[in-house]
Every structure is written in structure tokens, then in C-alpha cells.
């Protein structure tokens, strides 16, 4: 679910868009600067268990959305929860549905867009040109042929302390000499053997800001985010962009976060076991002191059509990193495979000579 924020100029009432270049809401008509107060205060983590109880109370006593009030002409009219942005039927002004009335957890912080749409399109064209196995015609594709939409995507971040108990085996490698015959010639070679020993132990590990995308839409992609630059949530940063409302609930997000944490716990257990090989037969972890944040992160999302098929892509609104689908050239891949086989065969032949 998405909603669009549209902010009028304080001086002339014209529509304003957030400017990446200036970090302000500057009116294109009267040049009046509508400042956004940037707050860089440390975002306070929220207690997970307490939030679950509040959500339970909310679900038992949901808010009834019966009407919305126009901020311009003060007219009151119906606006259901599935409509996040609309126009007043009396004066045409933008009216925004309040997320808090049907999504009780508000965003606490966000990362503003750091690159504008023009720069994003340039980066996309460069990305296409750098695809080695893409069809040649694709590299001539222009980003101007697709619509590029700036979206703030909702995320959960989770912190947790963990304590794990494990058992398994440690494998230490050793080598023995082995005789064999090749082409009538007796030879020897070193053969690796593994000496296994039983192990068990405990491990404590702390996690900070495990990211989980809070939407089921196609705008989720894995990126390296500069979360240290989060600013306090202000709707002014959203002007001219769309913002998705979280559709992954808080408890479901924690399940995904625990999957990520468990992976890192297993890797830490392997390091603690040591040796050359590790086998984990049992691993039991407790998660406690769980806290979370609800934040918004900026992306550009779009899609392009090539040879009758649609390919979607996402551009990180902070650093321009691109994640997306693209077509592959069967001819180029076949040529590359054949070349590798020829080169590999040549190396094998001359090494045996």
C-alpha cells in the first residue's frame, strides 16, 4: 500500500517537491523556501514485547475511519483506509489518509533521497552498458523509455541479545602418502584424511539493526544502507515521492530477522569450533532484550520492456546501487562457454605434454 504526500507552498500554495540538491522545499513559482527541520537525534529503539501488547489492543479496538477533512477548504468527506491519497471533491486539494489510523506504528526515521531522478536514469543507462552477457540491442535502451518512480520503502530493524547452546563435531585434517600406478608408472600422492572429535559449547552474540523489508511489493532489494545518517521522520522529505505503508507485521518481521541472526550464529559457532571442518548436529538459541525501529528507505523503482518481456529494477536512492532483472544473450553465453572449454582443453593438453 502506498500514499503520496503533496505539500503546498506556504506563500503561494503551489505544489512543492523535495529537492535533493538543496535539501529544501523550494517553490518553483515564487521561489519561497519552505525549510525542513532536520533532526539527527539518536533514534530510540522500541521494546518489542510492549509493542506487541499495544498492537493487540489496537486490533481489539480498531479505529473507525468515517471521514476526512480537507486542509484547504475544511470540507469533510468519506475516505476509506485503502485510499492513501486523494483529492478533495470540493476544491481539488490533496488529502492524505493518516497511516496511524490503520497502521499504529509510525515511521521513526528515514534516509532522504541523495540522488535525483535525472542522475538515477544516467546510472541505469551505465548499468545496462556494463552487462556483459546482455543482448547488444539492450545497451541502446534509454531510461527515458520507462517511468521512474521515487518510493520510500518501509523497513523494520531489530536488535537482540542471543545465547546459544550447540553440539557437533570438529574435523582436523592430516595427510598420508598413498601409492598408485598411472600408465605403468608407480607414483605416490598425498591424501587428505579427517580426524573427527565431538564438541559442544555455548555462544553469546549481540545483534544491532538487522534489516527486514516491511512490504510484500516488488520494491524490496538488498542494499548497503548508511543507517548512521538516519534523520528523524518528517513528512517534508516525502514531498514529491510515494511512501509505502508496511504490510509485513512486526512479529512476522522478527521471524525473518531471526532467520538472519541464526545464520550468523551458525557461522560464529563454526569459528568457535575451529579446525578444518565443522559439523553442527544441534543448535538452540534464545533471543531476549528484543527492540526494533520502523524506518523508511529511498529507492527508485521502474521496469522496461524488451522483446515482449517486462524486466523490473530498483535503484538505491542514496548511492545509486542497482538491483534488477535483465535479459541474457544466448549467443554470447554459448560463445563464452565454448571459449572456456577450448582454453581449458588446451591447458590440459599442454600440461600433459
pLDDT digits (tens, 9 = 90+) for 254-267: 999 999 999 999 99
194 and 117 within one domain:
no
55 and 173 within one domain:
no
H-helix segments, the chain: 48-60, 117-129, 250-273, 330-352
176 and 89 within one domain:
no
278 and 174 within one domain:
yes
**CB 232 within 8 Å of CB 39:** yes
Q: Provide the number of structural domains found in the chain.
A: 2
Domain with 175, as residue range(s), is 159-207+251-293
For 109, 207, 269, the CA distances from 229, given in Å and listed in that order, are 10, 19, 32
103 and 27 within one domain:
yes
Q: Is 335 inside a domain boundary?
A: no
Instruction: Kindly give the confidence (pLDDT) of every residue in the chain, 353 residues in length, as a single tens digit, with 9 standing for 90 and above.
Output: 444 445 666 666 666 666 676 666 667 667 667 666 655 566 789 999 999 998 888 765 555 544 555 566 454 545 545 344 445 554 555 555 555 455 788 899 999 999 988 898 888 878 777 655 455 555 555 445 557 788 888 999 999 999 999 999 999 999 999 999 988 889 999 999 999 999 999 999 999 999 999 988 755 556 689 999 999 998 888 877 878 888 899 999 999 999 999 999 999 999 999 999 999 999 999 999 999 999 999 998 877 666 666 677 888 999 988 887 655 444 444 544 555 565 665 665 566 65
Taking the C-alpha atoms of residue 314 and residue 225, their distance in angstroms, rounded to an integer, is 14
- Count of C-beta atoms within a 10 Å radius of residue 293: 21
Ordered DSSP codes for 143-203:
GGGS--EEEEEEEEEEEEEEEEEEEEEEEEEEEEEEEEEETTEEEEEEEEEEEEEEEEEEE
Give 345: exposed, middle or buried? Use CB within 10 Å, 0-12, 13-18, 19+.
Answer: exposed
Q: Is 277 inside a domain boundary?
A: yes
227 and 84 within one domain:
yes
Taking the C-alpha atoms of residue 292 and residue 330, their distance in angstroms, rounded to an integer, is 46
| pLDDT the model gives residue 7 | 61
**CB 162 within 8 Å of CB 265:** yes
267 and 242 within one domain:
no
Q: Which residue has the cell 511512501?
A: 243
270 and 146 within one domain:
no
Q: Which residue has the cell 471533491?
A: 89
Q: Is 318 inside a domain boundary?
A: yes
- Count of C-beta atoms within a 10 Å radius of residue 236: 19
Taking the C-alpha atoms of residue 30 and residue 20, their distance in angstroms, rounded to an integer, is 19
Q: Is 64 inside a domain boundary?
A: yes
Taking the C-alpha atoms of residue 268 and residue 278, their distance in angstroms, rounded to an integer, is 11
User: What does residue 90 show for φ and ψ, rounded to 5 degrees?
Assistant: -100, -40
277 and 236 within one domain:
no
| pLDDT the model gives residue 243 | 80
| pLDDT the model gives residue 346 | 60
pLDDT in tens, 63-102: 554 455 556 645 454 554 534 444 555 455 555 555 545 5
116 and 260 within one domain:
no
| pLDDT the model gives residue 240 | 76
15 and 56 within one domain:
yes
85 and 189 within one domain:
no
Amino acid at each position: 500500500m502506498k500514499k503520496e504526500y503533496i505539500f503546498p507552498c506556504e506563500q503561494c500554495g503551489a505544489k512543492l517537491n523535495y529537492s535533493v540538491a538543496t535539501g529544501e522545499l523550494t517553490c518553483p513559482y515564487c521561489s519561497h523556501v519552505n525549510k525542513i527541520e532536520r533532526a539527527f537525534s539518536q533514534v530510540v529503539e522500541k521494546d518489542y514485547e510492549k509493542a506487541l501488547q499495544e498492537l493487540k489492543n489496537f486490533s481489539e479496538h480498531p479505529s473507525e475511519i468515517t471521514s476526512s477533512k480537507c486542509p484547504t477548504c475544511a470540507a469533510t468527506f468519506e475516505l476509506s483506509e485503502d485510499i492513501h491519497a486523494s483529492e478533495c471533491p470540493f476544491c481539488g486539494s490533496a488529502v492524505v489518509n493518516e497511516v496511524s489510523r490503520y497502521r499504529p506504528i509510525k515511521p521513526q526515521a528515514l534516509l532522504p533521497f541523495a540522488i535525483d531522478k535525472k542522475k538515477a536514469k544516467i546510472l541505469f543507462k551505465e548499468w545496462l552498458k556494463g552487462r556483459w552477457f546482455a543482448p547488444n540491442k539492450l545497451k541502446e535502451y534509454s531510461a527515458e523509455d520507462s517511468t521512474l518512480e521515487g518510493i520510500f520503502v518501509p523497513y523494520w530493524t531489530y536488535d537482540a541479545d542471543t545465547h546459544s547452546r550447540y553440539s557437533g563435531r570438529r574435523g582436523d585434517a592430516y595427510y598420508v602418502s598413498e601409492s598408485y600406478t598411472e600408465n605403468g608408472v608407480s607414483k605416490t600422492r598425498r591424501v587428505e584424511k579427517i580426524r573427527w572429535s565431538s564438541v559442544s559449547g555455548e555462544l553469546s552474540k549481540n545483534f544491532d539493526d538487522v534489516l527486514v523489508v516491511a512490504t510484500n511489493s516488488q520494491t524490496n532489494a538488498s542494499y548497503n544502507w548508511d543507517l548512521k545518517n538516519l534523520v528523524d521522520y518528517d513528512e517534508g522529505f516525502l514531498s514529491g515521492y510515494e511512501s509505502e505503508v508496511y504490510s509485513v507485521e512486526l512479529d512476522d518481521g522478527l521471524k525473518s530477522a531471526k532467520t538472519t541472526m541464526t545464520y550468523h550464529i551458525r557461522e560464529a559457532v563454526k569459528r568457535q569450533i575451529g579446525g578444518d571442518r565443522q559439523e553442527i548436529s544441534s543448535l538452540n538459541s534464545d533471543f531476549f532484550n528484543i527492540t526494533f525501529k520502523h524506518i523508511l528507505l529511498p529507492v527508485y523503482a521502474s521496469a522496461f520492456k524488451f522483446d515482449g518481456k517486462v524486466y523490473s529494477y530498483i535503484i538505491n536512492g542514496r548511492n545509486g546501487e542497482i538491483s534488477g532483472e535483465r535479459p541474457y544473450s544466448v549467443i554470447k553465453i554459448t560463445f563464452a562457454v565454448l571459449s572456456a572449454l577450448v582454453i581449458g582443453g588446451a591447458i590440459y593438453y599442454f600440461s600433459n605434454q
